[in-house]
Amino acid sequence: MIDLLEEQEQKEELVSMALPDKNELKMKKIVDYDGPFKKGDDKWKGSMWNVQVEWEDGSKSWEPLEIVAKEDAVMCASYARDNDLLYKTGWRFLRRMAKMLRQVTLA
């Protein structure tokens, strides 16, 4: 139980420190993804998956999916849908958003 609490606290700390040097910039789009990762992997950033974000200034960086999804769930759900990721572990939490997007575009 303590390990789960510590892990949750670490995730919350990551979210609060999320993208510190990019705070003024807006995400333009997701251009790639990498993973799945496990805790202890070199590319582990607190999330099973990382996404490569292109920023409005044209720069790119790898960020944890969970943090990017908190910033822009619509962009993440759209990317997941377009790349057949909605049924993969670690992306499933975006299915509801993708379904809502589909309903909006059909209306």
Q: Which long-range contacts (CB under 8 A, 24 or more apart) does 57-63 make?
A: 57/25, 59/25, 60/31, 61/19, 61/22, 62/34, 63/18, 63/19
Parts of the chain with a pLDDT under 50: 20
pTM of the model: 0.73
For residue 19, the model assigns a pLDDT of 52
For residue 33, the model assigns a pLDDT of 97
For residue 93, the model assigns a pLDDT of 92
For residue 100, the model assigns a pLDDT of 84
- CA-CA-CA-CA torsion for 39, 41, 44, 49, nearest 10 degrees? -90
For residue 106, the model assigns a pLDDT of 57
Note the residue count of the chain: 107
For residue 20, the model assigns a pLDDT of 46
Residue 25 near residue 55, CB atoms below 8 Å: yes
